[in-house]
Chains A and B, each alone.
Chain A
């Protein structure tokens, strides 16, 4: 979960950067794109490694869930993967190409489009897990093509855009900052709309989760996410950008943890519990020890990276 949170926040901001990139319009567009590229530049690679970690951790610790997810959700996962690949190629191309020009523009479009594909389809895949329509015999045709998962996918996309816009308000100033503020407000509105839509769709499409969020054990998380979301809006309106960044991150994290709490104890609602899907005890123990050791090396290194490059945001 922790790794997933990190991925959603950091990787999500990255994807959101792509969204902002593609919607950048007008004479300020090159500057907007430059700001996106500059913010992402040193850290984009690193942000996406979290996804690999989520995959591998799921595989090692919950192999039954992993196998079932990949079998039943193969189509949305393939599309999400295509998005990741195209995005990576387009970004590497744009970042390392020595000259600009028509080709760079075209790759920019690929980059933006791919940035939309992945959050939507990953969100969709997660939505399907929760919806209760993932049948163990895979009899249901395309359970991922229902309203609830699709709403979750779009909700995920708007969260990504929100994160990116908020991060960019902190990293820019002047008229550019104002542009990203406006975008952040629009993104916030989008998350609110999609959030409501997803909740509505959950009434029929994901009853277990709907119940858990509104009257069950996940209610505190739900309320927290709502509350923090409103604070984010306030911070944006009042131009308190650093605070907005903190609350936006908290908001996204809260959404993610609310989802986890709502789905508990299932990995795949309503037939696969966490315990049933888990690996044997020895594996889980070894994995936790290894992760602890790894984090002891990784976290200081990450801190170093962000300190060196995000320290002087005023440059």
Chain B
């Protein structure tokens, strides 16, 4: 196996693993906050049970997320030390800020999980706030660093040397707001559907399960309310990509040839050898309208760029289609649930809706992974767009690449097994009869 490919696969695996836990670390605190708030408002003990059970799940997910995050920190150095040397002074700060945010989140999550008996109800509720806020900030900071890789600002290249480093300018790169918004909403939607899916399983067994109904209601509502905004933020992202990273847009849309009135390609399988798309449906001038708000606009196709600058169109286009298809499905599911709840004035318990929600729990994760594939594979061959390639980033210690690939693949298999075991046990363990202290 080629070293660069092995390193990329290893890193991609670590990231794809980590993002799931990072997302739950962002989303669960919001749900916990709502559940505990509902308990304090209504005195209904089932909301308290939900808050406790969700907190316990959050603790597990957070712990694994912390470990997988540590792996990524190490792997950045082990696999891509040249990138780290190049970029450290420029974009290291958001990572440090993320470390702080994560630290605060860990502290207050510990207070939340273990402080039921030691803090007043009000104080305990308040500890959930820093958890939620820090979680969101963590996500924003890390995505900011990724945004910089797509639109690098805050330095000048003078004769191959980095000069005039301005970390603040790097943080405020053009991409950060659109990327961060899109990721944050994705996190809340994914966790909402994921948690709703778990309760949907219980509801399929017993529609009158009051605990499951409340859990489902909170989680589904969060997801349903936020998912439509992904269209808006996704659109903003695509337009920014069109302006700043045209090869990525061309790959996403499988636009091989520079075209005026470029079609928006729905579906379809790119055939790179023949520079065409098979089985797709092209919406006339759709891409020109979306990207430049002008049906007569010219959109650069892959042929406008040297071959080595073209991303893997097959992967990027398919991933993009998957993400948008799932995202659209999630919005429709949310609307369906909302309409049913509006009509019946109750938590929806229609079996097909529940089954769709169960599917949504998994598919929303698929959408996130697909989205990250779009943006990362779409940026290749660059690590820092138009400045530093992925190949340039690779470590010189090449004899460790394959062994570390093997070792870490094994570790991830083990971690996943442990995790699934833990979560299944948690989900299926009996509910307490009365509220009591958990966590020891």
Contacts and interface: CB of A to CB of B under 8 A. Distances in A.
Interface residues of A, number: 64
B9 interface: no
Contact of A45 (B63, B87, B404): B63
**In terms of DSSP, what is the predominant structure of the interface of chain B?**
helix
A265 interface: no
B110 A283 contact: no
Interface string A66-95: 111111101101100110111011011101
Interface stretch (A12-20, A222-230, A251-259, A284-292): A284-292
Interface string B78-119: 100110111111101101111110111011111101110011
Interface string A46-69: 101101110111011111101111
Contact of A138 (B85, B396, B440): B396
Contacts of A305: 107, 110-111
A146 B414 CA distance: 32
Contacts of A71: 81, 395-397
Contacts of A59: 76-77, 84, 88, 92, 95
Contact of B92 (A63, A64, A89): A63
Given A49-B103, A60-B92, A291-B96, A282 B67 contact: no
B423 to A, nearest CB: 9
Contacts of B167: 282-283, 286-287
A309 B115 CA distance: 8
A42 interface: yes
B110 A279 contact: no
Contacts of A38: 440
Contact of B97 (A42, A45, A294): A294
A94 B176 CA distance: 39
Nearest to A72: B397
A298 interface: yes
Contacts of A297: 100, 104
Interface residues of B, number: 71
Nearest to A287: B93
Given A70-B81, A71-B397, A88-B67, A49 B407 contact: no
Interface in A1-54: 38, 41-43, 45-46, 48-49, 51-53
A85 B77 contact: no
B8 interface: no
A66 B95 contact: no
Interface stretch (B54-62, B197-205, B319-327): B54-62
B353 interface: no
B64 interface: yes
Q: Closest 6 interchain pairs by CB?
A: A60-B92, A63-B88, A279-B89, A70-B77, A88-B67, A67-B85
Given A92-B422, A308-B118, 7 more contacts: A49-B99, A59-B92, A60-B92, A70-B77, A77-B78, A97-B425, A283-B89
Interface of B: 56, 59-60, 62-64, 66-67, 69-71, 73-74, 76-78, 81-82, 84-90, 92-93, 95-100, 102-104, 106-111, 113-115, 118-119, 130, 165-168, 395-397, 400, 403-404, 407, 411, 414-415, 418-419, 421-422, 425-426, 429, 439-440
